[in-house]
Amino acid sequence: MTTKSVGRWFPGERMKLKGLLLRYYPPGIMLEYEESGQLKTKSIDLLDLRTSTDVNALVQEIQKAEPLITASRANQVKLLIQRLQNKLGQYSNHKFYLFKVLRAHILPLTNVALNKSGSCFITGSYDRTCKLWDTASGEELHTLEGHRNVVYAVAFNNPYGDKIATGSFDKTCKLWSVETGNCYHTFRGHTAEIVCLSFNPQSTLVATGSMDTTAKLWDIQNGEEVFTLTGHSAEIISLSFNTSGNRIITGSFDHTVTVWDADTGRKVYTLIGHCAEISSALFNWDCSLILTGSMDRTCMLWDATDGKCVATLTGHGDEILDSCFDYTGKLIATASADGTARVFSAATRKCITKLEGHVGEISKVARIIPVGYGAD
């Protein structure tokens, strides 16, 4: 069990617990509390929770680590943990089938993204539009028009899901309303194609990566540029925030990955070790590890504290095109141009499973989560 706080607590400061919220994915409990008149949140991450976990012992451990969980709240915490265990027990014997085929764009798709609940999704296309769809019915809800070139990168501001960002080869990023389909802002400043983007977890910033070798952070309220992240010598093709939102990582065709302070725009450190272009770069959930994938056919694991390489994952016979952690950070999935995907143990660094069957390259791999997580 790990506890992650949003904001810092100092002995002697008075905090009052206002409420407990259940988080199914990743499993955990959110604490809403009042401190110095301000409402704040922190999370108790239960990434190692199993159906066999001793709930009473876990509650005692939580009480020792978290001063907000007093004896009067112990039973409530116990009930929440039991609900999480019940959810974990539901994931077995799932059968997957083709649900629906949608053909509405007039040119090929570039990307797709779901909101957190899976109730709707978006598609980007070479036809210069992004479309919002209802997942269950297949109904087109909105067509987001305005870009003058390919819409290449798309994202929801999960977990909120009320805004959409689109990045285009026209060198701009646009921010849209999910409810109305209207455009809030057009972010201008890049001098080449935008190929990746990401919201921070607080949904106050959107970051864009470009073929102009820079990344930019934008304020989604006023539409202004906050920082330009410079230092790469080639195109930036991957970027993402960590869970806390205070770090952002960029992967580049210059063979390096850079970690930045999202609050100041300053470089924290650069990860050097790959000998070809970077294809993916991301943090695990608890922000202790960084995973990078490369065209050099390897993935590398790095200590997020000091930027030191702790392992190199090998075995693919061709370029690695994508990689990801599962929600616990214990498993790693890789997709390769060799037509296979592999699952590695983050602890032993050994390949657990090799997935074969595709006749061509595998370009994307999704975060590994139990089926049904995030549905409530």
Residue 41, φ and ψ in degrees, nearest 5:
-135, 155
Residue 206 located in a structural domain:
yes
Residue 4 located in a structural domain:
no
Residue 147 located in a structural domain:
yes
More confident position, 169 or 40: 169
Confidence of residue 10 (pLDDT cuts 50, 70, 90): very low
pLDDT at 374 > cutoff 50 = no
Same domain flag for 219 and 292? no
pLDDT at 129 > cutoff 70 = yes
Same domain flag for 267 and 323? no
Same domain flag for 122 and 253? yes
Residue where a domain terminates, one of 246, 272, 298: 272
Same domain flag for 116 and 228? yes
Same domain flag for 149 and 114? yes
Residues 6+ apart with CB under 8 A from 95: none
Q: What is the pLDDT of residues 240-287, one digit of tens each?
A: 999 999 999 999 999 999 999 999 999 999 999 999 999 999 999 989
Residue 59 located in a structural domain:
yes
Same domain flag for 125 and 261? yes
Q: What is the pLDDT of residues 171-181, one digit of tens each?
A: 999 999 999 99
Mean pLDDT value across the chain: 91
Are the C-beta atoms of residues 47 and 53 closer than 8 Å to each other?
A: no
- pTM score, two decimals? 0.84
Residue 300 located in a structural domain:
yes
Same domain flag for 265 and 361? no
Which residues are registered as beta bridge partners of 299?
Answer: 293, 313
Confidence of residue 14 (pLDDT cuts 50, 70, 90): confident
pLDDT for 12: 45
Residue where a domain terminates, one of 43, 59, 89: 89
Residue 74 located in a structural domain:
yes
- Parent domain of 65: 16-89
Same domain flag for 291 and 201? no
Residue 299 located in a structural domain:
yes
Same domain flag for 169 and 116? yes
Give the total number of structural domains in the chain.
3
Same domain flag for 196 and 75? no
Residue 94 located in a structural domain:
no
Nearest to 31, CA basis, from 12, 45, 13:
45
In the sheet where 205-210 sits, what is the strand order? 194-199, 205-210, 215-219, 225-229
Same domain flag for 122 and 220? yes
Residue where a domain terminates, one of 219, 242, 272: 272
pLDDT for 8: 44
Share of the chain above pLDDT 90, in %: 74
Same domain flag for 287 and 264? no
Which CATH number goes with the domain that contains 162? 2.130.10.10
Which stretches does DSSP call E strand in 93-136?
109-114, 120-125, 130-134
Burial class (CB in 10 A: 0-12, 13-18, 19+), 109: middle
